[in-house]
Amino acid sequence: MNKDFWEGRSLHGIEHVTELFENSVLGAFMSGHLVLESILVQMLESNSTDADNGRYFEWSFRRKVDASENRGFINQNTAEFLRGVNNIRNRLSHKLGTPITFDEAFKLAGLAAAGGIDFSDSTIYLDKSRSFHEYVIEGVIQEVFQNAAQDLLYLLDDESFLENVVSVRNS
């Protein structure tokens, strides 16, 4: 019996593919994922090992998250948030055209908050109804990625982070 690899997926015509380029939520999510991935590379480069051989861009997102957690750059909760981001990205990539739901975005905001990502308004991750009406999905996605990027970049500029990296390199 031959397995149908397209089971649960749709073969898309050019019109559907063209519409994907106009999907602002998908665009914001994918851009946000790429930005976070780039920041993880910066973290790893700040404390590289000979075994890494500077090949961070060849690593999967998951491997970058795991290495960042193992080296103490991010905590377990932040790593869980980043894995949640990647799980959604993988679903979107492998089931082209599947929408991001508000429920997913709201859950992601909660994971971000649990991971230490600061939000100026806790409504975005604590009050689903208000979050839906005040932020809608586009706003939640933008806030999650923007705040996560800022907070992760802050770790790179944090003196204690840099001191820890220097002390690890010198030991």
What pLDDT, in 10s, does the model give residues 110-159?
999 999 999 999 999 999 999 999 999 999 999 999 999 999 998 887 65
C-alpha 136/C-alpha 140 separation (Å) is 6
Render pLDDT for 9-25 as a digit per residue (tens, 0 to 9).
666 666 766 766 777 88
Q: What is the pLDDT of residues 65-111, one digit of tens each?
A: 999 999 999 999 999 999 999 999 999 887 777 889 999 999 999 99
- CB of 141 closer than 8 Å to CB of 100: yes
DSSP 123-155: HHHH-HHHHHHHHHHHHHHHHHHHHHHHHHHHH
171: pLDDT strictly greater than 50? no
Q: Check residue 67 and give its pLDDT.
A: 94
The predicted model scores a pTM of: 0.81
